[in-house]
């Protein structure tokens, strides 16, 4: 199938606390319950012109022709799962959806619209349906009355602040949390960047560029050609308010803290503090070689 672009609604629905379920019940029993929930989600799709793109373990990704169909399906999904009680387990899902241009391939769908929908699903709590303000404006007027703005978000696609709305689907009004309009609620909280320098090359890791690869492979974010460096040596990522280095290599990564302490990280992760040095594959005491200098810069590049 040749790739094509279309304007559609993308929906992600994710089973909440599935990891804990597997840990508590074991693989076979937990998989039976997860499959029951996924089956309910799939059953909703034909009633709203939806189609399943793929399952992702305990989540589904779906496509709809417009925002109204997607939101109606999301509401039905929440009701269906709320009524479900597989093996005596009370299950919950969280849903994020977004409308916009998507690239449709043979077996998958790509583009910024997909990324925003996935982000909203990740930001949602148990039982929530989250949509961006732009999607809410695409909907029929009567449906917009069921939308409640709950926080602002900085989206990677535009680097601009947008309102995120919750779709109200519960009949019990006492279940709704009252919104305090006198405080600012923006996610992700702006924590600035982690700046990494290798020679004359500088990279930043932040909420808009959330991962950076280090390695010998030419497509790495920071390339070190030393043979002690693995092709995919390490990854730096941001999680909430901290930055972490995750080692994937054979020889490990040596991280020097501001105090001068050097830590050898092998196939595990370490939180990167305010400043320090990173040496992939070799210690500063063992040999000379190129190394990465990092420091925390709390001034955002993308303030609005």
> How much is the pLDDT for 178?
55
Structure tokens at 171: 């009949």
Confidence of residue 289 (pLDDT cuts 50, 70, 90): confident
Q: CB within 8 A of 136, min separation 6: which ones?
A: 67, 144, 147, 165
Is this model's pTM higher than 0.95 or not? no
CA distances from 216 to 30, 225, 263, 282 (A): 40, 5, 21, 14
Q: Which domains does the chain have, with CATH numbers?
A: 4-187 (3.30.70.1230), 193-297 (2.60.200.20)
Helix H or strand E segment including 141: helix 141-144
d(CA 135, CA 302): 23
Within 13 Å and on the Cβ side, how many CA atoms surround 56? 12
Count Cβ atoms below 10 Å from residue 167 Cβ, excluding itself. Answer: 23
Which residue shows structure tokens 């479900």? 84
Sign, CA torsion 282/287/289/295: positive
Instruction: With both helix axes pointing from N to C terminus, report the angle between 67-83 and 27-44 in degrees, rounded to the nearest 10.
Output: 140
Mean pLDDT, rounded, of the chain: 86
Q: Taking 90 as the threshold, does the pLDDT of residue 10 lie above it? A: yes
Q: First and final CA of the chain: distance in angstroms?
A: 41
Q: Is the pLDDT at 231 greater than 60, yes or no?
A: yes
- What is the per-residue pLDDT for 202? 94
- pLDDT given for residue 304 in this prediction: 30
12/160 Cα distance (integer angstroms)? 22
pLDDT score at 207: 73
In the chain, the DSSP E strands lie at: 4-15, 51-55, 59-64, 93-104, 109-110, 129-132, 147-154, 161-167, 186-187, 193-198, 201-205, 211-215, 222-223, 234-239, 242-247, 253-257, 262-265, 269-272, 275-280, 292-297
| Digit-coded pLDDT (tens) for 174-215 | 555 555 444 444 455 555 789 999 999 999 998 778 899 999
Read off the pLDDT of residues 37-96 as tens digits, 9 standing for 90 and up: 999 999 999 999 999 999 988 999 999 999 999 999 999 999 999 999 888 889 999 999
Residue 301 confidence (pLDDT): 41
Return the pLDDT at 158: 56
**Cβ neighbours for 253, distance < 8 A, ≥ 6 positions apart:** 214, 233, 234, 245, 247, 264, 265, 266, 278, 279, 280, 281
Give me the helix-helix angle, 18-25 and 27-44, nearest 10°: 140
C-alpha 59/C-alpha 94 separation (Å) is 9
The whole-angstrom separation of Cα 194 and Cα 301 is: 12
């Amino acid at each position: 199938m040749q790739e094509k672009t279309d304007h559609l609604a993308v929906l992600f629905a994710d089973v909440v606390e599935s990891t804990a379920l597997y840990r508590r019940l074991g693989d076979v029993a937990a998989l039976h319950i997860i499959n029951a929930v996924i089956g309910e989600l799939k059953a909703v799709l034909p009633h709203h012109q939806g189609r399943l793109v793929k399952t992702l373990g305990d989540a589904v990704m779906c496509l709809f022709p417009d925002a109204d169909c997607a939101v109606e399906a999301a509401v039905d999904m929440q009701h269906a799962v709320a009524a479900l009680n597989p093996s005596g387990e009370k299950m919950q899902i969280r849903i994020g959806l977004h409308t916009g241009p998507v690239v449709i391939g043979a077996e998958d769908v790509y583009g910024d619209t997909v990324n925003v929908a996935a982000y909203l699903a990740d930001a949602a709590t148990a039982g929530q349906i989250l949509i961006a303000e732009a999607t809410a404006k695409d909907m029929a007027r009567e449906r917009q009355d069921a939308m409640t703005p709950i926080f602002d978000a900085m989206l990677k696609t535009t680097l601009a602040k947008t309102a995120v709305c919750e779709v109200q689907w519960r009949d019990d009004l006492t279940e709704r949390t009252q919104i305090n309009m006198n405080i600012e609620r923006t996610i992700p909280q702006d924590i600035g960047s982690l700046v990494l320098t290798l020679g004359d090359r500088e990279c930043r890791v932040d909420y808009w560029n959330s991962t950076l690869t280090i390695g010998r492979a030419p497509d790495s974010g920071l390339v070190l050609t030393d043979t002690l460096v693995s092709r995919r040596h390490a990854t730096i990522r941001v999680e909430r308010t901290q930055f972490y280095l995750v080692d994937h290599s054979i020889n490990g990564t040596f991280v020097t803290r501001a105090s001068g302490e050097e830590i050898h990280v092998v196939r595990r992760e370490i939180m990167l503090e305010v400043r320090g040095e990173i040496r992939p594959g070799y210690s500063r005491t063992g040999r000379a070689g190129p190394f990465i200098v990092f420091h925390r810069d709390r001034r955002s590049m993308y303030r609005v």
